[in-house]
Amino acid sequence: MFKRLRDALFSPSSVAAYKKDKWWITALFFVMLVVVSTLPSILYYSIPPKLTEDDSLTIRQDFEGKELPFKIIDGELIKSVGSSDEPVKVLVAKHYQVIITTNDNYQTTSEYPIFMISKTKVTKIVGDKVNIILEYKDYPELNNLNFNSLSKGEYMKWDVVYSVINQELKASSGSVALIGIGQKFLLTFITYLILSLLLVFVNRMNFANIDFKTGWKLLIYCFAPYAFGELLAGLYGINILSFVGIVLTVFFSTKVLRTVYLERGK
pLDDT by position in tens, the chain (length 266):
889 899 889 988 888 888 888 999 999 999 999 999 999 999 988 888 888 999 999 999 999 999 999 999 999 999 987 777 789 999 998 889 999 999 888 888 888 999 999 999 999 999 888 999 999 999 999 999 999 999 998 989 999 999 999 998 888 887 888 899 999 999 999 999 999 999 888 887 777 777 888 888 899 999 999 999 999 999 998 999 999 999 999 999 888 888 877 776 55
Does the residue 55 lie in any domain? Answer: no
Residues 73 and 31 in one domain: no
Question: What gap in Å lies between CA 63 and CA 67, rounded to an integer?
Answer: 9
Does the residue 239 lie in any domain? Answer: yes
Does the residue 115 lie in any domain? Answer: yes
Task: Return the pLDDT at 15.
Answer: 87
Does the residue 165 lie in any domain? Answer: no
Contact predicate 214/259, CB 8 Å: no
Question: What gap in Å lies between CA 177 and CA 44, rounded to an integer?
Answer: 9
Residues 190 and 248 in one domain: yes
In 3D space, the residue among 51, 49, 53 whose CA is nearest the CA of residue 171 turns out to be 49
Task: Return the pLDDT at 186.
Answer: 96
Contact predicate 122/134, CB 8 Å: yes
Question: What gap in Å lies between CA 147 and CA 63, rounded to an integer?
Answer: 10
Residues 80 and 24 in one domain: no
CA-to-CA separations, 92 to 47, 55, 121, 142, 253, in angstroms, rounded: 25, 10, 19, 21, 52
Does the residue 57 lie in any domain? Answer: no
Question: What gap in Å lies between CA 30 and CA 192, rounded to an integer?
Answer: 9
Task: Return the pLDDT at 93.
Answer: 86
Does the residue 202 lie in any domain? Answer: yes
Task: Return the pLDDT at 264.
Answer: 65
In 3D space, the residue among 108, 134, 110 whose CA is nearest the CA of residue 121 turns out to be 134
Domain limit, last residue, from 98, 133, 151? 151
Domain limit, last residue, from 85, 116, 151? 151
- How many domains are there within the chain? 2
Classified as helix, coil or strand, 69 is: coil
Contact predicate 81/221, CB 8 Å: no
Domain limit, last residue, from 151, 167, 201? 151
Does the residue 171 lie in any domain? Answer: no
Contact predicate 210/257, CB 8 Å: yes
Residues 27 and 85 in one domain: no
Contact predicate 150/56, CB 8 Å: no
Task: Return the pLDDT at 25.
Answer: 92
Domain that holds residue 125: 65-151
Does the residue 159 lie in any domain? Answer: no
CA-to-CA separations, 197 to 204, 216, 223, 228, in angstroms, rounded: 11, 7, 12, 20
